[in-house]
């Protein structure tokens, strides 16, 4: 009764008019823009637009998200400040040498522009170009320009930080917790589906939507940790544990994917009989996820992790042939890894909630599976190299246009076109979608500039216009708000000595459109903007990497060999994820013969191949590999030749069907290998082969078999896709 009375009282106390979350965010952004412009105009700073742009770019829903982005923008601006002034000092009065000097710097920034901190390098890139080309606009004032640019960016960030933390503050801690909870829930379901699939209790495994949700949540939790840590002390002190939890979830996702995709290898095997501990493991994993979610909700720890034995049943495994035993061994290893990762998740959550009193500090743990080349160097990323080359080319192309043609826009060509090039390379699959928004925003800007602005007098009227425009944009165009605001602020060009010149505005508009067209035209040097074409090229690149790795299985001794191997392994690990992004952009309506489900099936087959080849390379140094290479050398060579040939064919024609030949040769191969392995075991005496060696041998044999099986799965999926339809020419 008391509770009802309180609820009724709260309802009565609630005002009749309440602002929605969207309206509150829009008011905050509008207010921050007005305050920033007021400060910049009051103190007569060089270009008030810069401060306004800083607010427009960093203002995101949730305080921490903005602060983190603001931090990246500030660091990027500082980087650009120092690098551009150093370049100006090194090459004064020599424009060609200056461009030669800035090219590697800009290329480096463009190369680094990937991962979660890509925004930092993007800002560093375009601000560097802006500062080095400030000279021709205001000779002798490059330092002043650089200093103002940096200061106004920081002021914009500061104003937004104050307003967003004082007015209707929103924290991301709740978002982080709810995303983590959803992730744990999704992973619990994926685990149960996966275990049912391998023990033949469930026919299909996890639905694709659940898998997509899991991948999105892993990425979301990863980005929210930094965001929440930048605003909340509670997250910052246990950031390492949050990172460990996210890493464990990420690894868990990869391992459960391997298990699910490799389930076909176990279809003839009664897994419950071979691994009697499987039902126990299933129940234990379920209980661990429930425990983790309970810890996250703030409840005390109710149980500790139980040890589950995954010993093989000797009687049940006896009738299996060697390849089936190998498949069981691969699955067993993956189940043990699932067990280990869920333990880590629970332990990390205990740390986070302070259960064990081991609040960790310091840097996040490095990802053990992160690929490194020789001397600990990161492998070269071809896509990033292409991005760097493209951005530098755009710098030179625009510089030549400015110097030799000098159309409207003048030196701004050198600032605008490379900035567009950097933006295009940040999200290559989106290409020029945001630029359409720029075009519309400029049109609106023209109307405001011509018909409204000349009638304004004083900051009160200007502030009202800025607030109204920002509010409406933020409220009604949440998706494209940033390019819309940027384009408007650039177009209005607000300064203390405001003058109106239709010719200059028309020239500005013309220059912008020509710059966009030039940048768009230049993107063709990176490749066709059509996603299906990019997908085709990536498939061929994937198989070229497979071919190289399978034909060079011996660990390379030379430095160059190690660099090449690291490069191709990196392609194999990263390309399926990139292809997935491109695949989502393929217009299913334009290609009715290739449904999104077919493309998803193809991607799954490629992912399985990538996993199996990665396993093969990981296991090649084991002692079992020496047994395989020594005693079964000719058979392994034969196997490699078969697989190598298939990869070569697919790298040239992705839909090539070597399946009948592959099947026939591999079946013959398996039939030959089985008695030979039996002979090897008999000859050496089983007692001489320890359990560990036996496991290692079967695991490696399982990965060899897995690669061939994954190839067959790909061939089956590839036959269902209409590749000719994707190859057909179309207008973009």
Q: Output 43 or 524, the one with its CB closest to other proteins.
A: 524
Residues 6+ apart with CB under 8 A from 150: 77, 78, 81
# binding residues, other proteins (CB under 8 A): 12
732 scored as a contact of other proteins (CB under 8 A):
yes
Instruction: Please give the Cα distance from 152 to 149 (Å, whole number).
Output: 5
Q: Output 18 or 503, the one with its CB closest to other proteins.
A: 503
Q: Quick check: helix, strand or coil at residue 238? A: coil
Alpha helices, DSSP H only, in 586-690? 596-619, 623-631, 633-652, 659-684
**x/- track of binding to other proteins for residues 8-47 (CB under 8 A):** ----------------------------------------
Q: Output 167 or 450, the one with its CB closest to other proteins.
A: 450
647-657 residues labelled b (16+ CB within 10 A) or e (exposed): bbbbbeebbbe
- Shortest Cβ 729–other proteins spacing (Å): 5
506 scored as a contact of other proteins (CB under 8 A):
yes
- Shortest Cβ 455–other proteins spacing (Å): 14
501 scored as a contact of other proteins (CB under 8 A):
no
Q: Quick check: helix, strand or coil at residue 457? A: coil
307 scored as a contact of other proteins (CB under 8 A):
no
**x/- track of binding to other proteins for residues 427-466 (CB under 8 A):** -----------------------x----------------
Q: Which residues 577-616 are close enough to bind other proteins by CB under 8 A? A: 590
Answer for the pair 200, 308: CB distance below 8 angstroms, yes or no: no
Q: Output 377 or 450, the one with its CB closest to other proteins.
A: 450
Answer for the pair 99, 399: CB distance below 8 angstroms, yes or no: yes
In this structure, what token pair is assigned to residue 5?
């009375």
Q: Output 307 or 729, the one with its CB closest to other proteins.
A: 729
Q: Which residues 701-730 are close enough to bind other proteins by CB under 8 A? A: 728-730
Closest CA to 420 of 494, 334, 518, 353: 518
273 scored as a contact of other proteins (CB under 8 A):
no
Instruction: Please give the Cα distance from 347 to 464 (Å, whole number).
Output: 53
731 scored as a contact of other proteins (CB under 8 A):
yes
Q: Which residues 223-262 are close enough to bind other proteins by CB under 8 A? A: none
Answer for the pair 32, 123: CB distance below 8 angstroms, yes or no: no
Instruction: Please give the Cα distance from 235 to 225 (Å, whole number).
Output: 8
Q: Greatest CA span in the chain, whole angstroms?
A: 98
- Shortest Cβ 454–other proteins spacing (Å): 11
Task: Report helix, strand and coil shares of the chain as percent, to nearest 5.
Answer: 75, 0, 25
503 scored as a contact of other proteins (CB under 8 A):
yes
Q: Output 99 or 438, the one with its CB closest to other proteins.
A: 438
With tokens 């191969």, the residue in question is 669
Q: Output 369 or 730, the one with its CB closest to other proteins.
A: 730
Q: Which residues 519-548 are close enough to bind other proteins by CB under 8 A? A: 524
Instruction: Report, in angstroms and rounded to the nearest whole number, the Rg of the chain calculated over CA atoms.
Output: 30
502 scored as a contact of other proteins (CB under 8 A):
yes
Q: Output 301 or 528, the one with its CB closest to other proteins.
A: 528
Local structure of residue 717 (DSSP, 8 states): H
Q: Output 597 or 725, the one with its CB closest to other proteins.
A: 725
Residues in touch with other proteins (CB under 8 A): 450, 502-503, 506, 510, 524, 590, 728-732
């Amino acid at each position: 009764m008391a509770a009802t009375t309180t609820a009724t009282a709260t309802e009565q106390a609630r005002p009749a008019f309440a602002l929605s979350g969207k309206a509150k965010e829009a008011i905050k952004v509008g207010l921050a823009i007005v305050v920033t412009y007021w400060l910049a105009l009051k103190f007569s700073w060089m270009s008030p637009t810069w401060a306004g742009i800083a607010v427009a770019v960093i203002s995101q829903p949730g305080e921490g998200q903005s602060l983190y982005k603001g931090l990246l923008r500030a660091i990027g601006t500082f980087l650009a400040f120092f690098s551009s002034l150093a370049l100006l000092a090194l090459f004064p009065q020599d424009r060609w040498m200056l461009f030669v000097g800035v090219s590697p710097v800009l290329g480096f920034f463009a190369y680094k522009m990937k991962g979660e901190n890509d925004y930092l390098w993007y800002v560093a890139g375009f601000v560097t170009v802006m500062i080095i080309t400030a000279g021709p606009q205001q000779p002798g004032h490059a330092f002043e320009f650089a200093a103002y640019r940096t200061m106004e960016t920081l002021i914009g960030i500061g104003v937004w930080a104050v307003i967003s933390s004082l007015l209707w503050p929103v924290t991301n801690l709740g978002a982080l917790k709810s995303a983590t909870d959803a992730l744990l829930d999704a992973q619990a379901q994926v685990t149960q589906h996966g275990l049912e699939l391998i023990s033949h209790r469930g026919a299909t495994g996890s639905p694709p939507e659940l898998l997509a949700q899991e991948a999105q949540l892993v990425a979301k939790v990863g980005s929210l940790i930094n965001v929440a840590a930048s605003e909340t002390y509670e997250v910052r002190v246990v950031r390492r544990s949050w990172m460990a939890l996210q890493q464990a979830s990420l690894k868990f996702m990869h391992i459960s994917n391997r298990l699910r995709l490799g389930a076909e290898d176990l279809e003839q095997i009664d897994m419950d009989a071979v691994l009697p501990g499987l039902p126990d493991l299933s129940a234990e994993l379920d209980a661990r996820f429930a425990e983790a979610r309970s810890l996250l909700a703030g409840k005390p720890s109710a149980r500790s992790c139980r040890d589950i034995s995954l010993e093989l049943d000797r009687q049940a495994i006896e009738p299996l042939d060697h390849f089936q035993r190998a498949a069981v061994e691969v699955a067993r290893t993956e189940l043990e890894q699932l067990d280990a990762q869920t333990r880590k998740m629970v332990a990390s959550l205990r740390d986070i909630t302070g259960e064990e009193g081991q609040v960790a500090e310091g840097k996040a743990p490095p990802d053990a599976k992160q690929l490194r080349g020789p001397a600990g160097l990161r492998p070269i990323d071809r896509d990033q190299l292409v991005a760097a080359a493209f951005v530098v080319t755009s710098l030179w192309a625009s510089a030549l246009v400015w110097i030799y043609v000098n159309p409207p826009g003048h030196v701004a060509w050198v600032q605008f076109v490379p900035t567009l090039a950097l933006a295009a390379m940040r999200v290559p699959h989106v290409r020029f979608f945001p630029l359409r928004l720029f075009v519309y925003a400029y049109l609106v800007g023209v109307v405001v500039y011509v018909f409204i602005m000349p009638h304004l007098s004083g900051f009160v009227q200007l502030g009202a216009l800025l607030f109204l425009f920002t509010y409406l944009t933020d409220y009604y165009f949440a998706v494209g708000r940033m390019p819309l605001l940027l384009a408007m602020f650039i177009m209005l060009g607000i300064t203390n000595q405001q003058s109106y010149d239709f010719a200059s505005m028309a020239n500005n508009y013309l220059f912008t459109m020509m710059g966009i067209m030039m940048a768009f035209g230049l993107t063709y040097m990176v490749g066709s903007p059509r996603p299906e074409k990019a997908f085709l090229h990536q498939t061929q690149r994937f198989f070229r990497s497979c071919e190289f790795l399978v034909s060079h299985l011996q660990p390379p001794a030379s430095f160059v060999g190690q660099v090449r191997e690291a490069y191709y392994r990196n392609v194999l690990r990263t390309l399926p994820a990139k292809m997935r992004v491109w695949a989502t952009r393929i217009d299913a309506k334009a290609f009715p013969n290739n449904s999104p489900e077919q493309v998803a099936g193809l991607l799954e087959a490629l992912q399985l191949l990538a996993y199996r080849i990665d396993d093969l390379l990981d296991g090649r140094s084991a002692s079992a590999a020496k047994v395989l290479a020594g005693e079964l050398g000719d058979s392994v060579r034969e196997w490699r030749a078969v697989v190598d040939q298939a990869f070569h064919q697919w790298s040239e024609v992705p839909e090539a069907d070597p399946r009948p030949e592959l099947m026939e040769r591999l079946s013959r191969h398996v039939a030959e290998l089985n008695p030979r392995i039996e002979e090897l075991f008999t000859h050496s005496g089983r007692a001489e082969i320890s359990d560990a060696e036996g496991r290692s041998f079967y695991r490696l044999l399982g990965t060899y078999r897995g690669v061939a099986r994954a190839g067959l799965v790909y061939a089956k999926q590839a036959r269902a896709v209409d590749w000719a339809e994707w190859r057909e020419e179309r207008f973009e």
